[in-house]
Amino acid sequence: MARPGKPKHIKEAQGTLQPCRVNDSPATGEPMSLLPAIPDGMEVEEEKYFIKCCEELLNLGLLTSQFIPSIEMAAFWWWEFVENRKKIRKEGSVQVTKTGYSQTTGYHSAMKDAYKNLVDFENRYGLNLVSAQKISVPGARRSNDFD
């Protein structure tokens, strides 16, 4: 998965804008200045993750209306990960079939898939420790000593 490009105004503020690499018609949503409403039907764990992601992206100045469905999906993956982890702790991680064959439960693959999707999402938007160091946001502009 490719990381989304930085908006033109952020590149200008950082001094890294190269005209040959500017997308003249990017798909951008309207920037948000407040946290969005929590979508209906979310479980408690989903709501917590949704709020956490929205707050982090809002603080970075990267939260736009187009990201809300992606954040909602990531919240579902988080919930799925947590639920499968609870089931593994409660029921165990190995099941024995009717023929006596031992295998890991289906909860493992579901938990692993949810975790992989969640990590991909967090890497894309800089929401974990490693990827956050790769995304730079504009800081305070310094005054020029030669002006």
Per residue of the chain (147 residues), give pLDDT as tens. Answer: 456 667 777 777 788 888 777 766 665 667 788 899 999 999 999 999 999 999 988 887 788 888 888 899 999 999 999 999 999 999 888 888 888 888 888 898 999 999 999 999 888 877 776 776 666 655 544 555 554
Its domain, for residue 111, covers 42-94+104-128
Number of domains in the chain: 1
Domain-located, residue 2:
no
Domain-located, residue 85:
yes
Domain-located, residue 121:
yes
Domain-located, residue 63:
yes
Three-state DSSP at 31 gives: strand
Rounded distance between C-alpha atoms, residue 147 and residue 99, angstroms? 82
